[in-house]
Amino acid sequence: MAKPSTSLAPDPMVERLRAALGRRAFTEQKMFGGTCFMIDGNMLIGTSKRGLLVRVGKAAHAAAAARPHASPMEMGGRSMEGYVHVAPEGTATEADLRGWLGLALAFVETLPPKVKPAKVAKKRA
């Protein structure tokens, strides 16, 4: 008798975002219970079962949160200014997804690249 698979089904949104980003250089990182896409070390957009986490910046926050299927992002009961949550209905079409991705890119491309600090050796007693 075969064991049931314990692995999770791949998130189709991850593939959609990879395709939408095209040849742009990006990295992926597991965060917030999903996959986050990073450009130059800065978080751009993330997936979860509940929808997308889109980084829009503080200046665009109110307008982005007022768009259909969007709301201010909250984590642990605290609002995350500069980030919005987009329900799955808000990314139903490729045009919808490109719109959110474009908004995130417009902000993140203004940020300087993040450099990882060098690891410091721990002292041994």
Q: In this model, does residue 6 exceed pLDDT 50?
A: no
Written as one letter, the residue type at 83 is: Y
As a whole number, mean pLDDT of residues 105-115 equals 93
What local confidence, expressed as pLDDT, does residue 4 receive?
A: 43
- Domain limits, the chain: 13-18+25-108
Higher pLDDT, 41 or 76: 41
Which one-letter DSSP state was computed for residue 111?
A: S
Report pTM: 0.81
Q: How far is CA 77 from the centre of its chain?
A: 19
7-16 long-range CB contacts below 8 Å, 24 or more apart?
A: 11/35, 11/47, 13/47, 13/52, 13/91, 14/47, 16/91, 16/94, 16/97
Return the CATH number of the domain spanning residue range 13-18+25-108. Answer: 3.90.1150.30
Distance CA 55, CA 84 (A): 7
- What mean pLDDT do residues 74-98 have? 92
Instruction: Give residue-wise pLDDT tens across range 25-35.
Output: 999 999 878 89
